[in-house]
Structure 1
Amino acid sequence: MSDKFAKALETKDVLLADGATGTNLFNMGLESGDAPELWNTDEPNKIRALYQGSVDAGSDLFLTNTFGGTASRLKLHDAQHRVGELNRVGAELGREVADKSDREILVAGSVGPTGEILEPVGELTHSLAVEMFHEQADALKEGGVDMLWVETISAPEEFRAAAEAFAMVDMPWCGTMSFDTAGRTMMGVTSSDLAKLVEEFDVPPMAFGANCGTGASDILRTILGFVAQGTERPIISKGNAGIPKYVDGKIHYDGTPELMADYAVLARNAGVKIIGGCCGTMPIHLEKMREALDTRPKGDRPTLEEIVDIIGPFSSANDGTEEGAGGAERRTRRGRRRA
């Protein structure tokens, strides 16, 4: 097992992660509905450029272009037989970019949701989910990632399946859920639920947290929810660059580089160890985040009022943890990628 990630967590005050995959690949010509993972073999130079953009912007780690790399997701593109190849190559391209840098860069193997609903609500069995995650994790390990990183998860059952699979391949791992329904995930998980869940595994994640969601303000409120549980485990925050809006027929995220710089500083002050961006976050945002983290002194943990004053209002009145809070209704969805 690689100890590079553990050393980075121990020696650095904060780690800057990467930004969006989809936003940047769409800017390179990816068409809506296409599988980004196919570009690992079809457009390797563009995937190298994706990774290099994060490194050049100052990121300490980046995630591989393998979010939809399980057999269930690739089956939508008749590529379920290519799980091993596409994940391995996505990791190898990342290793190539990281290893040529003059500073240490960590490569995280991105693992997204299966896109299916696990029993008892859905039809996907626990054993099959573990098998799919195991197949992907094996390939990412072969490709040379430093750790595995499951992201944008909504259901605790799927999180458990990923944790079991990752333990089988003996790799350090991280995990994030998306709290996008009035402070809860689509399947009703709260920040306090996740903080408790990660301590139940035989091999717990080295860091956990939130990604995606509904904007920088909301994810910071979720982070404070983790902190309130008294967790000593490193926390991850990868918030969207603002709120998506349709502009000239295309989705545009309204978060400026300056707003994301403020978000990064507030996240650090709240106690976050790994800070990055999700949907809409491009290298120009990461550059400002890096600059802010390096130049602004650490301050006190922000209050909810300070978050609203600096970043903007929350999208809901509560964070999902209050008794009787909205958002507890269980709904189903297919996992989204990091746009």
Structure 2
Amino acid sequence: GLEDGRLPESWVLEQPDRVRALHRSYVQAGSELVLTCTLGGTRFRLAHEGLEGRATELNRRAAELARQAAGDDAFVAGDMGPTGQILAPLGPLAAAEAADGYAEQAAALVEGGVDFLLVETLSDLAEARAAVEGARRVTDLPIFVTFSFDTHGRTMMGVRPAQAAQEMAPLVQGLGANCGRDPDEYPGFLEAMAAAAPGTILWAKPNAGLPHLEGDLVVYDASPASMAEVALRLRQAGAQVIGGCCGTTPAHIAAMSLSLGC
């Protein structure tokens, strides 16, 4: 498997067959949508492994791999995540520079054949706006944005679900929540977003429960059956796009798909 501390995106160039096979395993489990292996695909994150100069190549190739695996069976979302830096004035990265990096990533993902873009696991509204601005420079494809809320109902930067919806709904085709902590808190996040931005398409992509260590491995504690129940609650709360984030295996997806009648 992937060595501890390495970027998953490195496998796009080093282990493309394995990345393609992973995508395909989720499609075969019932996924109607797969994400490219590019959450950390901006030049800023890729710099951790000296890959910033290959950002266009890597993102384009990642989109091609996901497209090949999905075929006509699933949609492909170009996955874009945090830069890993704090934006000015609180941090060193200017919003304009962040937008340039997102534009570079989005252009490559579109060239590789994605159906739309998902900017996820965000904490900062300024970074969210920079991502959407950069992506919109290079494509008219739909853009969706999801934030990561913790157990206090805020992101790491203090953003509440209603605030995220009010700020971002006019700029994107849909929004929601991903990652974070307890899936049981997601209905509240979704209800707050729906109230703040009526009619918006809502996404929900919680982790498969809470993580714990088993030896050297991080294991998530939600069973496929429990995630199937979560999926039903998410739909009742208004989610129209439902999936899983960290710890979600093809077995989880199969159970969720079955429970939703997909």
Number of the residue aligned with 1:288: 255
Q: 1:189 Cα deviation (Å)? A: 0.4
**Structure 1 residues 69-100: Cα deviation after superposition (integer angstroms, max 9, x where no partner):** 1111010101110100110000001111122x
Aligned-residue offset at 1:239: 0.4
Contact 1:244–1:252 (CA under 8 A) maintained in structure 2: yes
Q: How far off its partner does 1:199 sit? A: 3.1
Q: Secondary structure at the match of 1:121?
A: coil
Q: CA separation in 2, counterparts of 1:138 and 1:56?
A: 28
In structure 2, C-alpha distance between the alignment counterparts of 1:179 and 1:284, rounded to whole Å: 25
Residues 1-339 of structure 1 correspond to what in structure 2 (within 5 A)? 29-99=1-71, 101=72, 103=73, 105-170=74-139, 171-200=141-170, 204-294=171-261
Distance apart, 1:181 and its partner CA? 4.9
1:175 partner amino acid: V
Give the counterpart letter for 1:242 in structure 2. Answer: G
Aligned residues of 1:213 and 1:219 also touching (Cα < 8 A): no
Contact 2:194 2:200 (8 Å CA) reproduced: no
Aligned length: 261
Partner Cα distance (1:219, 1:280) in 2: 16
* Unmatched 5+ stretches in structure 2: none
Structure 1 gap ranges (5+): 1-28, 296-339
User: What displacement does 1:31 show?
Assistant: 1.3
Q: For 1:183-214, what per-residue CA distance to the aligned partner results, in whole angstroms no more than 9, with x for missing partners? A: 000000001001101134xxx22111000010
Task: Pick which of 278-287 and 168-177 moved more.
Answer: 168-177
- Match for 1:160: what amino acid? R
Q: Following the alignment from structure 2 to structure 1, what is the Cα–Cα distance between the partners of residues 25 and 221?
A: 20
Q: How far did 1:226 drift? A: 1.4
RCO comparison, higher one (Cα < 8 Å, 6+):
1
* CA RMSD between the two structures: 1.2
Question: TM-score by structure 2 length?
Answer: 0.97
- Per the normalisation by structure 1, the TM-score is 0.75
In structure 1, distance between residues paired with 2:197 and 2:145: 18
Cα distance in structure 2, aligned partners of 1:230 and 1:42 = 42
* Structure whose CA Rg is larger: 1
Partner SS for 1:225: helix
| Secondary structure, aligned partner of 1:36 | coil
- 1:230 Cα deviation (Å)? 5.0
Fraction of identical pairs, as percent: 43
Q: Give distance in 2, aligned partners of 1:142 and 1:227.
A: 33
Q: Following superposition, which runs of at least 4 residues in structure 1 exceed 4 angstroms of deviation?
A: none
1:221 offset after TM fit, Å? 2.0
